[in-house]
Structure 1
Amino acid sequence: MTDWDDISFIVRNKNRKAVFWILDKPKTPTQLAKELNINIGFVSNILIELLERQLIECLTPNEVRNRFYRISKKGQKIKEKIDREL
């Protein structure tokens, strides 16, 4: 998978892009849903998709509730490329 595959994946969905974009600081799914006014179920699905592509990381994987997520090093590289190229 190339960087451009990840970029395309992120930018083709406005909610996915919004979630990805504000994860430069650790946030919980509830915080994301409230800040972006997106259904928590959609947020959870987006987080799973971003985790599968290693674009974000879970900082508290052993927690059942209040898991914190943030952009990964790979995700930061992709975010910088989006800023630069698009």
Structure 2
Amino acid sequence: MENERNEDPTDWDQIGFIISSKYRTAVLEQLVDGPSIPSSIASRTSLPITHVSRALRSLRERSLVELLVSKEKRKGRIYGVTEEGKRLWERIEAEGMVD
């Protein structure tokens, strides 16, 4: 457990933020597989588009996902996971914190 003492405590803040919402968890899991648009994420996860959009916005505010097209673009907004988001997702999976 020595290694855990040297970890960045913000990792746990971010992980807690992600896993405290099934919507954020589902959206991040989809984006780890590759960039996508909100409507595709919604159809693959069977989540309402409003929840997907809200999850994307909150994950983006924490720099876990990023908009890959111009922010002026209203339709066809493509999102991708950031390196930080991918790293944290891998940790969540390794720790068995998702189903």
User: TM-score, normalising length from structure 2?
Assistant: 0.80
Alignment length (residue pairs): 86
Question: 1:84, CA displacement in angstroms?
Answer: 2.3
- Post-superposition, which runs of at least 4 consecutive aligned residues in structure 1 deviate over 3 A? none
Alpha-carbon separation, structure 2, partners of 1:83 and 1:33: 21
Higher radius of gyration, 1 or 2:
2
Question: 1:77, CA displacement in angstroms?
Answer: 1.2
What's 1:57 paired with?
66
**Residue identity in the other structure for 2:62:** R
Q: What's the C-alpha RMSD, in Å, of the aligned pairs? A: 1.3
Alpha-carbon separation, structure 1, partners of 2:93 and 2:51: 25
**Residue identity in the other structure for 2:92:** I
Q: Deviations over 1:3-54 (max 9, x none)?
A: 1011001111112101111102111001011111111111111100000000
**Structure 2 regions of 5+ residues with no counterpart?**
1-8
> What does 1:1-86 align with in structure 2 at a 5 Å threshold?
2-24=10-32, 25-62=34-71, 63-86=73-96
Alpha-carbon separation, structure 1, partners of 2:94 and 2:40: 28
**Structure 1 regions of 5+ residues with no counterpart?**
none
Alpha-carbon separation, structure 2, partners of 1:22 and 1:81: 16
